[in-house]
Structure 1
């Protein structure tokens, strides 16, 4: 039967939910907006026919933005939303030192600049060179700066348009970072380096760090089996934008998948659990708490959807789980539709706390040509960048993928965590994870 495909391609449920999420406003982890988004998502699950829709709360380290700036004496060099913003979980602090350009912030560049960084203000780009063999995460760059003795951190966007980037710092054990950190636009970063490199500047961050509560919106479909398939996303977003792509899109998609599966519940051999996690953007807090409490044998697989819809072609990073790769190939062949199968290990987003325990998991995103986040983590992550056609197509594909993986005759062996560790070592990602305190092996 294929009626469900036409129903999904004409459904407004997912897109309407996406509009609801972006219209909430600030969905920062622990905020009232995040709570509103969780409640809207819980209610959306319930409205499409999923059962036991609820919010499971948990406590987090809160962070609330104040003003931030880069100054030289009494002169303000950068301040304000189109110029300079604090990175979440930066400490409420001020630091003064010599401005040092560390280029792309690769490990080799930090090593080369080590003698200059003690007590300095480090400036790094949000991207890496095309020839570099891996993406270097923001937090890795931040903690390379911390380890080198830097007093402050400036994260300069590589995307044009007056868009200072955001993104959290901090570690699981110490959620508030050690040195003040700001994001500046590409234009401001270039100007700071051109005019003020090797001069003394000050980075100021004003913020508060209250105790806060986040949560996860959950619901279920299918038979009451002990084993379940987890379909996930994250509800929270950074406070500077609508968070349309990252990750209103992913949450809207899993709501649409829940609607489609509710109409096909008899096709499910395995229970499907939906989880829209809170507090992803500040260290995968919600998914980490959930993964720590599960029996790894109870989770058949994870389909985690994060930052899709902007790119039309789905990308399924399958973390070298052979059966997940095979399911992706079956999906591509069945629909004669482009689906990219990523072969690396992606230690970011809400699949990772499960995958690191050996649980099979996809990181589902939308494929784009550019390296890095593009509009993501900037004020330009807005609804107008997305296309309802892409959301509907991707919801069809992911609904079919979920039914396939839920079949009784699909068995997905758990991973040997030594294999995952070796893959991360081989790719170089282990280097950064050890710096940031995220190495789980």
Structure 2
């Protein structure tokens, strides 16, 4: 027989409140509609951090505050990708975070799925060329191959630029960082699945394909903020349970699922614990909203 839950009444109150309250949806709406993507380095990132901090304070948490830190900032500039041989055509592309400003004209080469074996097979052929790889992981490798791994293998192979092809039809280019907290050494952009398949067919049918890639992105030092607030424990306040999520999104969408849905769950947990269990916590519960996760 399972032991009786000594906190059953509180649990029932918390669950009932969550299921009948609009707070979590209201907070999600504010984060997405009022502050957009909350991309690192934008005014909306700071406004979102202030909102989260003010909400923690309004819900009764203690010492709600912003903690600043320096990071390698990046701003998206216009990017253009043109086929110049064997035909002339412009393709839509977007720079990937930490892409540098650059101007590259080179022959295109494909790394397929971007598996270690495919890169090994290319070898010296990557030198000076624009390397293209799909975002999907190799189906028979048995592990995920991250975008950054594909990019780094291209850099190590001597590529002049990198093109990342979305694996999802009908949704346009993907985004995601090329580096962790530093400018990337060569330009990297993303294109949609359909344009990636077109380039693959063009190479198969016509042989040599030459591209011109131009990027205008800005890399510069910046400051971001983590949001911190506590529900102090009554018996062992120096021992902590930490609950957190990042609040920044990528700049091409509102980031409602990743990360805003997670951030508002952290905020909601703070609300109901403060309301129903704030005086009964043995250990401190610290709530965190992290900045700059998406940019890397």
- What TM-score results when the alignment is normalised by the length of structure 1? 0.61
**SS of equivalent residue, structure 2 residue 216:** strand
**SS of equivalent residue, structure 1 residue 63:** strand
Equivalent runs, 1:282-431 vs 2, <5 Å: 282-283=295-296
| 1:189 CA displacement | 0.9
**SS of equivalent residue, structure 1 residue 266:** coil
Q: Give me the whole-angstrom Cα distance separating, in 2, the residues matched to 1:230 and 1:130.
A: 36
Alignment of 1:110 with 2:123, yes or no, is no
Flag structure 1 segments of 5+ consecutive residues without an equivalent: 284-441
Q: In the alignment, which residue of structure 1 is the partner of 2:226? A: 216
Alignment of 1:207 with 2:217, yes or no, is yes
**SS of equivalent residue, structure 2 residue 225:** strand
**SS of equivalent residue, structure 2 residue 268:** helix
Q: Give me the whole-angstrom Cα distance separating, in 1, the residues matched to 2:140 and 2:279.
A: 49
Higher relative contact order (CA 8 A, sep 6+): 2
Equivalent runs, 1:143-222 vs 2, <5 Å: 143-172=152-181, 175-196=182-203, 198-222=208-232
Q: Give me the whole-angstrom Cα distance separating, in 1, the residues matched to 2:208 and 2:133.
A: 14
Q: 1:18 aligns with which of 24, 28, 53?
A: 28
Q: In the alignment, which residue of structure 1 is the partner of 2:244? A: 232
What's the RMSD between the two structures over aligned residues?
1.6
Flag structure 2 segments of 5+ consecutive residues without an equivalent: 1-8
Any runs of at least 4 consecutive aligned residues in structure 1 with deviations exceeding 6 A, and if so which? none
Q: In the alignment, which residue of structure 2 is the partner of 1:72? A: 83
Higher strand share: 2
Q: In the alignment, which residue of structure 1 is the partner of 2:41? A: 30
Equivalent runs, 1:79-118 vs 2, <5 Å: 79=92, 84-118=93-127
Q: Say whether the 8 Å CA contact 2:53–2:65 is kept in structure 1.
A: yes
Q: Say whether the 8 Å CA contact 2:240–2:284 is kept in structure 1.
A: yes
Structure with greater Cα Rg: 2
Q: Give me the whole-angstrom Cα distance separating, in 2, the residues matched to 1:26 and 1:226.
A: 35
Q: Say whether the 8 Å CA contact 2:114–2:138 is kept in structure 1.
A: no
Alignment of 1:275 with 2:288, yes or no, is yes
Q: Say whether the 8 Å CA contact 2:250–2:295 is kept in structure 1.
A: no
Q: Say whether the 8 Å CA contact 1:228–1:270 is kept in structure 2.
A: yes
Q: In the alignment, which residue of structure 1 is the partner of 2:3? A: none
